[in-house]
A = this chain, B = another copy of it.
Amino acid sequence: MSTDDDGKRPYQPQPAGPLSAEAREAVYHTIHTRRDVRDQFLPTPLPDDLVRRLLEAAHAAPSVGFMQPWNFILIRDPEVRQRAWEAFSSANDEAAELFSDERQALYRSLKLEGIRKAPLSICVTCDKDRAGPVVLGRTHNPKMDVYSAVCAVQNLWLAARAEGVGIGWVSIFRDEDVRDILGIPDNIEIVAWLCVGYVDQLYQEPELALKGWRQRLSLDDLIFKDGWGRKGD
C-alpha cells in the first residue's frame, strides 16, 4: 500500500454527509421522473461533451471487485441502426404472437421507434473475464459482474434524465442478431441496447401504466420485515 507525497495514507475516508435539501430534491426528482422512452425522441444530435458525461456516470457505477466489466458501443451509423431495427422488428413479431388476442392488439399498438428515431444507440456489454477467473465478491454469485453492468445502465439513465435526454432500453432482440450486427465476440455478454436522444416531453407515469398494460403495485405490499412474508408491526 502506498502513501501520497506528504507521507499521509491517501485512503483515509473523507468527511461526507447528506446533501442539501435542494440537492436531495434534485436527485429524487430525477429518479421519479425518469421514463423508458419508446417513441418521443428528437433527431437533434447529442453534443460530444454531453455523451461523455453520460458515459462517465456509467463508468462511476459500482462493480464487483472493482472489475468494471463494461464496454460501451456507440452506434450512430444509420445503416447499423437500420439493421438493428429490422432485428428488433422480427423479434417483436415473434413476441406479439405469445400474447392472447386482446393483449396482442394492445402490444402491437405500443410503438417502439427509438432505434431509428434517436440519433444514438449505446450497447452495454459485460466482459466476465476482465479481472481473471477469481473475482472478489463474485466467488459465490457468478452474476455479480452482469449486475455491475446493469448498475452502469441505471447511472447513465439517471444522468440522461438530468440532461433532458431520454433513454429507451430495447430488450426485444435475439441475442445472436445483435452479436452479428455489432461483431460482439462469444465471450462477451450483451446486457442492454439503449436508445439515446433529446426529449422535450415525458409521460408523468410509466407509459405501460397509462396505456393500460399493467399498473403500479403498492409499495407496502412489497415490504417484509426480518423474513419473507412477515409484515411485522
CB proximity of A85 to chain B, nearest CB, Å: 15
Please tell me how many copies of the chain the complex holds: 2
CB proximity of A162 to chain B, nearest CB, Å: 4
Q: Which residue, A66, A95, A174, A183, has most C-beta atoms of chain B within 10 A?
A: A66
State in angstroms the CA–CA spacing of A75 and B225 once bound together. 6
Main secondary structure on A side of the interface with B = mixed
Please state if A28 and B162 are interface contacts (CB–CB under 8 Å): yes
CB proximity of A27 to chain B, nearest CB, Å: 4
Residue A71 lies at the interface, judged by CB distance under 8 Å to chain B: yes
Contacts A74-B226, A140-B172 known; 14 new A-B pairs at CB < 8 A: A1-B211, A11-B205, A13-B40, A13-B203, A14-B201, A14-B204, A16-B33, A16-B164, A16-B199, A20-B26, A28-B53, A151-B153, A182-B226, A183-B229
24 A–B contacts from the bound complex (CB under 8 Å): A2-B212, A11-B205, A11-B207, A15-B200, A16-B202, A18-B164, A18-B165, A19-B29, A19-B164, A27-B162, A31-B60, A31-B158, A32-B60, A56-B219, A62-B169, A66-B215, A66-B216, A80-B227, A137-B172, A139-B172, A151-B153, A154-B155, A155-B158, A182-B227
